[in-house]
Amino acid sequence: MAPPEPPFPRSTQGSDQGSTAALSAGAAVAAISVLAVVGPPLGLSPWLIALAAGGGLVALTVDAASFGGLGGHLLAEALPGGIGTARLRRIAIHEAGHVLIAADNHLPVKQVLVGSRACLREGLSANGSTQLEPPAHAKLPIEDLRRWSRVLQAGMVAEQVVYGGSRGGADDRALLGRLWGLSGYDVATAQQEQRRARREVEQGLRQRRSELEQQAERLLLEAS
């Protein structure tokens, strides 16, 4: 009988989705408040203000129901003037980190997605995704856990190296926590090993920054 496949085949990034959703809602409320105050002196009809308010709320509802709150991300990635491109490049840097470190640790990469649109087409509520070959067993030996610790933290570390901080990686951290938990190690050991793995990855990616950025450019070309 084939060994069961653990429920963690993908590494995804999307930790800023909640903040973007909150930002979108806040912006809508602020816009409605401004219209309510300055609209009448400018001659705007209260009906138009109410219609605009209703339209904004409907748009937020549709975004949450149909796109999992990714509408703001889709809009941001499509912005002109290099804004959308810069956002996609940051996502590509994150995924490139996973790709490079996965190759170093002999973990096969099945698919890489850059951008919310590409993820939505695959049914994922994320900004980017690196699909990895899942481990054969849920309970892993320490050496395999160390490899996964390096690979799953590589996206966050890549952002840290290039941008000085990471936005994505909440799913990566949760996935890594599940791996260590299922394998039966205590929290202190898991945290110590993950910190060590992160230091190793950061040192390696800083030395290979040009390679990291070249890999990100390749991912962007494939996504375009």
What's the pLDDT tens digit per position in 194-209?
A: 999 999 999 999 999 9
Spell out the domain ranges in the chain. 10-14+80-223, 17-77
Give pLDDT tens digits for 56-81: 444 444 444 444 455 566 677 767 77
Taking CB atoms within 8 Å and a gap of at least 24, the contacts of 136-139 are 136/3, 137/3, 137/4, 137/6, 138/4, 138/6, 138/182, 138/183, 139/182, 139/183, 139/184
Backbone phi and psi for residue 82, each to the nearest 5 degrees, phi listed first: 85, -5
The mean pLDDT of the chain is 78
Per-residue pLDDT of 179-189, as tens digits, reads 999 999 999 99
Q: Please report the pLDDT score of residue 48 as a whole number.
A: 56
What mean pLDDT is predicted for residues 12-16? 47
Query: What is the CATH class of 10-14+80-223?
Result: mainly alpha
